[in-house]
Structure 1
Amino acid sequence: MAALEPGLLVGLGMAAAACLGGGWWCLQRLAQARLLEDMPTSRVRSAAQGYVELYGVLLAGPGEPLTAPLTGKPCLWWRYRIEEYRESGKSKSWRVLESASSEGWLGFEDGSGQCLINPVGAEVRPARREVWHGERRHPQREDHHGLLGQLLGMGKRYRYVEERLHAGEPLYALGEFRTSGGGRQGLDLAAAQAAVVREWKQDFRGLLARFDRDGSGDLNDQEWRLVRLAAQLEAEDRHRAASGAPELNHLRQPQEALPFLLSCKGEDELARAFRWQAAGGALLCLGGALAGTWLLTQGW
């Protein structure tokens, strides 16, 4: 077999990337679709600690009210993207200049109870999405409304995309559920004591001031025993204070490699969308395999 030309090698690399990427995407989305279909819906009041599926309504979170950065509309969560239209010869594309999303906590209720949601790390699928065009990198908030602005925007240099979550909208949530306060959390005394000692060690001068009885500038065995005893008592006091606090439910990103989803669409619609995306990944994988096979035949 003759040596492969550099251009052919590049083509084979792209075909292999398409095949592997499409296959990975297909398997991931199929697994997520099956997970959504098999996961039972929990209620906040009776939800087990761990990975759960919830369905309810969005509420305002504990922080300051949010305002969407591009439109100025009040909301509970926002995500935006600013793109610039680029032309280079025959190549035309939109290039992302800016993108960001809010990280404030969301409120949620399902009729049985309430919980707070930390959206950091979530795949968020909101119901509200606005797209418009303009001549400035940062849009004027009053200029994005109206059919005429949308029609005239086709020739504009910048494209703006803003997505939002609002109070009262339905929310499907899949994530890690935890409850603090209300006397529900147990105490691992050894771990809690070690955590207090580590915290105190960060201010070693303060630790010496409290427990260096002989003024040697170090802690001997007897003084370390006093440190551990004091840390144990501190850990017990902190546990009692936390147990006496009102019960508070949280939903957050799972520590394991599990989906973290927040969507205004229901479970069935999400699972259907994931299956269509899996089909797209399968087609990409097949196309990459066929392209790679054809390129290899050209190299012989």
Structure 2
Amino acid sequence: MDFATLLAFVAAAGLCVAGGWVWVSRWSRIRHLQDTPTSRIRSAAQGYVELVGVLRESGATPLTAPLSGQPCLWWRYRIEEYGGASERRSWRVIERGTSEAWLRLADASGECLIDPRGAEVLPAWRRVWTGDQRHPRGLPAHGWLDWLNGGRQYRYVEERLHAGEPLYAIGEFRTVGGGRQGLDQERAQAEVIRQWKGDFAGLLQRFDRNGDGQLDEQEWRHVRLAAGLEAEDRHRTASSAPATAHLARPQQAQPFVLSSHGEEVLARRFYWQAAAGALACLGGALWLALQLGVSGW
């Protein structure tokens, strides 16, 4: 088998596998979106839920989008540079970033804080423009006319979520505080000890009674006892606080999606992506079969 044939085999197999993955992952998202009923925040069950509401200001320091300098609640950006060999010049990503500030979703029944880390965020606001500096000084003054001007060495992509916008959210729902959570003593104690180990010098100062620079078995028993008491105290404090609803990335392999678009729009988008993945998988399989036939396998 020559190198060209081997390369064709690899490309066909890669196309088949990649298309199959897109097909399965997009179809899984469709099923989760359609099979999960929309819940009210106040009455939502603990676990995987679907919420629909409006974004509100969180009360924390307002965010500013890094490229446009405009206020928002969430941002994601990408900077690309046009370069490479004269015959193979193309856009390549040189910088990207995503905000991690929590969002506040409200519906008619209550409010929910959302940790966007790990979410597939699909905002309605998206802008693409070009310029001759790596970091732009805000949005272009003339919008699409910027493409007709010179200086297109860099391309900027910015996406944002704003207060007052609708938001569709599906993820892991938990209510924290309000005395609703039981104490997992062993896990909470281990977490306290882990935090204390982050300042090992302070840990030695508190529990190294013989001053030998290490903790023996008896001293570790004192550490565990103190950590258990600390864990109980933290639990009492958290339980006395008002109940707060949180939405975050599921621990299981379930979609975590935040979108300015409704469920129908998302399902339609995922349908098209699943169909494209299925066609790519089929095309890769046919190409692979053709290569096997040509090779006489």
TM-score, normalising length: structure 2: 0.88
**Alignment of 1:24 onto 2:15:** no
1:271 equivalent in structure 2: 267
Equivalent positions of 1:125-164 (< 5 A) are 125-141=122-138, 143-152=140-149, 156-164=152-160
2:243 equivalent in structure 1: 247
2:7 equivalent in structure 1: 10
Contact preservation (8 Å) 1:115, 1:250: yes
Distance 2:98 2:245 in 1: 23
2:75 to 51, 75, 78: 78
**Alignment of 1:176 onto 2:202:** no
RMSD: 2.7
Offset from partner CA, 1:108-159 (integer Å, 9 cap, x none): 1112111111111111000101111222222232535334224436x82322
Identity %: 61
1:106 equivalent in structure 2: 103
AA in 2 matched with 1:112: S
Contact preservation (8 Å) 2:171, 2:257: yes
2:63 equivalent in structure 1: 66
Q: Measure how far apart 1:210 and its partner are.
A: 5.3
1:35 equivalent in structure 2: 32
Distance 1:296 1:221 in 2: 65
Segment drifting more, 27-36 vs 188-197: 188-197
Q: Measure how far apart 1:240 and its partner are.
A: 1.2
TM-score, normalising length: structure 1: 0.87
AA in 1 matched with 2:28: A
Distance change >3 Å, CA 259–CA 142, structure 1 → 2: closer
How many residues get paired?
A: 296
Q: Measure how far apart 1:285 and its partner are.
A: 0.8
Distance 2:217 2:70 in 1: 62
AA in 1 matched with 2:275: A
Segment drifting more, 128-137 vs 13-22: 128-137
1:116 equivalent in structure 2: 113
Unpaired segments of 5 or more residues in structure 2?
Answer: none
SS of the residue 2:42 aligns to: helix
Larger C-alpha radius of gyration, 1 or 2? 1
Distance change >3 Å, CA 246–CA 86, structure 1 → 2: same
1:259 equivalent in structure 2: 255
SS of the residue 2:149 aligns to: helix
Equivalent positions of 1:201-216 (< 5 A) are none
AA in 2 matched with 1:281: G
Contact preservation (8 Å) 1:117, 1:252: yes
